[in-house]
Amino acid sequence: MASSNPVLHRLQQLRPEGAKAFAVLVDPDETPVADAPKLGERARRQGADLMLVGGSLVLGDALDAVVRGLRAGADGLPIVLFPGSARQISPEADAILLLSLISGRNPELLIGQHVQAAMELDRSGLEILPTGYMLIDGGAPTTVSYISNTQPIPRDKPGIAAATALAGEQLGLRLGYLDAGSGARHAIPPSLIRSVRKRTAQPLIVGGGIREPEQASAAAQAGADVVVVGNALESDPGRMRALADAVHQVGPSAAQASPAAAQQGNGGTDAARPDLQPR
């Protein structure tokens, strides 16, 4: 029987399988609608396992059209909304990260926006992924810390990050997301990821300031189940394959990860790519 929460179900399977996923973040304001199918196709071909769509400040009204375009090109890759506000809901996506900004103390982002969005979300048919969202200091103020009017967790305080993530899990949130913010000067230190990973069982998403395959690999090795890259791909889409491979190589060997993929003759590390397609 098909799971009623297919995306969550697959994300929860990553850790027991020892597999790692690579997510491409798409900012709908930076993506012309006409380019979306090409972008979706590139993500599919170059090793992405899912696409996140959103931004702290989405000013345009092309969200539905961008998601439709991505879907046309991405051919089955899950498309998950990563909203900066209650206005960023599109029933065209598969799922939505319902973010509680648990590193901050801004009630709007802990419950206020959620109340505003609740009825629309209920009607949307989107799979809802309740997520403990934690901003970690990335070395300079980012759009998200400014817009959210919250202070990030200091990058040298892994204990605070671990306790915050654990509190989120105890509150019933299903995913954790450690974010240094888009375009962060420094990615999140592996030691901080490791301490959160040690204290929590929920799937852990990590992003912000990851530009090089070595950084993506370090985040996955430290315990990220999903590694997210946005900015670096906007400026250089050509590096997608290397980033995806770096993440997948941290997972199990190709044959263990996906015998089906190996049989289909997918070359290289594509065989180690987890199957995150909704089913």
Nearer to ligand 1GP, 141 or 268 (CB): 141
Nearer to ligand 1GP, 31 or 231 (CB): 231
Query: In the complex, what is the shortest distance from the CB of residue 23 to ligand 1GP, in angstroms, rounded to a whole number?
Result: 9
Nearer to ligand 1GP, 70 or 271 (CB): 70
Which residue of the chain is nearest ligand 1GP when measured via CB?
207
Nearer to ligand 1GP, 19 or 219 (CB): 219
3-state class (DSSP) for residue 14: helix
Q: What DSSP string runs through 87-147?
A: T---TTSSEEEEEEETTS--HIIIIIHHHHHHHHHHHH-PEEEEEEEEEB--SS--HHHHH
Q: Which residues bind ligand 1GP (CB under 6 A)?
A: 25, 179, 182-184, 207-210, 228-232
Which element (helix H / strand E) includes 26? strand 21-26
Which of 205, 142, 128, 226 has the alpha carbon at shortest distance from 172?
128
Query: In the complex, what is the shortest distance from the CB of residue 42 to ligand 1GP, in angstroms, rounded to a whole number?
Result: 16
Cβ proximity of 167 and 176 under 8 Å = no
Query: In the complex, what is the shortest distance from the CB of residue 208 to ligand 1GP, in angstroms, rounded to a whole number?
Result: 4
Query: In the complex, what is the shortest distance from the CB of residue 2 to ligand 1GP, in angstroms, rounded to a whole number?
Result: 29
Which element (helix H / strand E) includes 207? strand 204-207
Nearer to ligand 1GP, 110 or 147 (CB): 147
Nearer to ligand 1GP, 54 or 257 (CB): 54
∠ CA 171-175-176, rounded to 5°? 90
Query: In the complex, what is the shortest distance from the CB of residue 8 to ligand 1GP, in angstroms, rounded to a whole number?
Result: 19
Cβ proximity of 253 and 271 under 8 Å = no
Task: Kindly give the residue spans of alpha helices, DSSP state H, lying in the chain.
Answer: 6-17, 36-45, 63-74, 107, 113-124, 143-148, 158-170, 190-199, 213-222, 231-235, 240-248, 254-257, 259-263
Nearer to ligand 1GP, 69 or 208 (CB): 208
Query: In the complex, what is the shortest distance from the CB of residue 210 to ligand 1GP, in angstroms, rounded to a whole number?
Result: 5
Query: In the complex, what is the shortest distance from the CB of residue 184 to ligand 1GP, in angstroms, rounded to a whole number?
Result: 6
